[in-house]
Amino acid sequence: MGDYESYMKGSPLEVKVITKRFGLANSTSIDVYLETDGYQALAKAFEMGPAAVISEVKNSGLRGRGGAGFNTGMKWSFVPKDTSKPKYIVCNADESEPGTCKDRPLMESDPHQLIEGIIIAGFAIGARQGYIYIRGEYRYLLDILDRAIAEAYGRGYLGRNILNSGFDFELATHTGAGAYECGEETALLNSLEGLRGYPRVKPPFPAVVGLYGCPTIVNNVETLCNVPAILRMGAEAYARLGTPKNGGTRLFCLSGHIRRPGVYELPMGFNLKRMIEEVGGGVPGGKALKAVIPGGSSCPVLAASEVDVAMDFESVARIGSMLGSGGVIIMDEDTCMVKALLRIEKFYAHESCGWCIPCREGTAWLKNLLQRFHDGGGTEQDPDTALDVSFNILGKTLCPLGDAAALPGISFIQKFRHEFEEHLKLGACPFERRAVAVT
């Protein structure tokens, strides 16, 4: 089992829509789910019909919680209706972005909410088969999901003629093998087909040519968990929880130098400064805030002076970063930004699938250059070389893993160049020197 108590600390500022069953006894069982509005939205979906479900989800302003933030209902509407091919719905439970750990509690505490969301999505697009693709490291969650799926089959929410609607739907789990790249939707589909997890060229997009060449919707766990709530509350009420173009709530994962690290459900558009200070309790030890990565390690870093921002897709984009997957990484004044960037680039160099040369070579270059630089062997040209390498990766790869490595690289160097210069002047890491001097 996971350590639920350690990351679900709770805050009075939370608005619990998709986390409302967290902490209930036996929250994973179908009985508790049914006692707390469970599977009501599915019955409602059958009354509404597929087109009305799609337009309700579209109007709710729900945007993909996997990172890109695309309007979910709009994505569903791209699935061709006049095709004889089977259609698929795939739940992306690969959750591998450093700093992001919110799909895990959703599956750990409320698997039926996810299952209901998947069935509704399948009904809306006309799919008869769904898959939950779950990262290999979340193997313990597989038992929880498989048990919940078996319960749903047992009570007639999966299988043939669900709730006498005439709709048939099958659902199965499938594990990944620990590759970050397999969270990218087309690499995920290759992996699901039993192929190596390389990304595919887009277009065509999976909604048209996806699993086994058939129309497929890939949605993140959190995205799908919101669907039952949207149908129960109605699109308008759900949309009103957030900001005009960003409906509902969002799970934010606070980590790093913060008093109360954890996963919190807050309205879309919640102010980042308040999130750090009032929800997370601020930076510990009386230290000053230096920087924040707002949406997982692939997003450009924000300096402390930039954190008075609404956490919705447009507001964060306006200041040059991304809302991403909700992983808010907080760094205090004693953080070495060269070392922090090195840690990030080590991850991307390790996880590059090697398919595209700019990503495969560029991430390795960035890692090696930063390692040498941090260890005291840097040259004056290194920051500009690292920027040059980053710009030569950016936008030049088949999938956005290359961008994920380039964007933090560019922002760290541009915003914290003085720290690179300090390393150069000292011939060592100034933060490590200071730490040694203090002890």
Ligand X SMILES: Cc1cc2nc3c(=O)[nH]c(=O)nc-3n(C[C@H](O)[C@H](O)[C@H](O)COP(=O)(O)O)c2cc1C
CB of 219 to ligand X, least distance (A): 4
Q: Which of 19, 129, 223, 255 binds ligand X (CB under 6 A)?
A: 223
| 3-state secondary structure at position 79 | coil
Q: Pseudo-torsion of CA 343, 344, 349, 352, nearest 10°? A: 150
Residue 218 interacting with ligand X (CB under 6 A): yes
Residue 242 interacting with ligand X (CB under 6 A): no
> Which residues between 56 and 75 bind ligand X (CB under 6 A)?
64-68, 70
Residue 345 interacting with ligand X (CB under 6 A): no
Per CB under 6 A, the segment of 125-133, 226-234, 240-248, 395-403 that binds ligand X is: 395-403
Given the complex with ligand X, which of 220 and 335 has the nearer CB atom? Answer: 220
CB of 429 to ligand X, least distance (A): 29
CB of 274 to ligand X, least distance (A): 25
- In the chain the first and final C-alpha atoms are separated, in Å, by 38
Residue 109 interacting with ligand X (CB under 6 A): no
Per CB under 6 A, the segment of 22-30, 78-86, 170-178, 181-189 that binds ligand X is: 181-189
Q: Which of 14, 116, 181, 312 binds ligand X (CB under 6 A)?
A: 181
Question: Do 163 and 120 form a contact (C-beta atoms < 8 A)?
Answer: no
Structure tokens of 260? 């109360």
CB of 187 to ligand X, least distance (A): 7
261 dihedral zone (left: phi>0; alpha: psi -120 to 50; beta): beta
- Within 8 A by CB and 6+ apart from 217, the residues are 75, 76, 79, 87, 88, 89, 90, 121, 125, 127, 206, 207, 210
Residue 183 interacting with ligand X (CB under 6 A): yes
Q: Which of 96, 190, 315, 397 binds ligand X (CB under 6 A)?
A: 96
Q: How many CA atoms lie within 13 A of 335 on its CB side?
A: 25
Q: At what angle do helices 401-415 and 417-426 cross, to 10 degrees?
A: 70
Long-range contacts of 24-30 (CB under 8 A, 24+ apart): 27/109, 27/110, 28/108, 28/109, 28/110, 28/111, 28/112, 28/144, 28/147, 28/148, 29/151, 30/112, 30/148, 30/151, 30/152, 30/154, 30/155
Given the complex with ligand X, which of 67 and 261 has the nearer CB atom? Answer: 67
CB of 438 to ligand X, least distance (A): 39
Residue 122 interacting with ligand X (CB under 6 A): no
Residue 401 interacting with ligand X (CB under 6 A): yes
Point out which residues bind ligand X (CB under 6 A): 64-68, 70, 92, 94-97, 180-181, 183-185, 218-220, 223, 399-401, 404
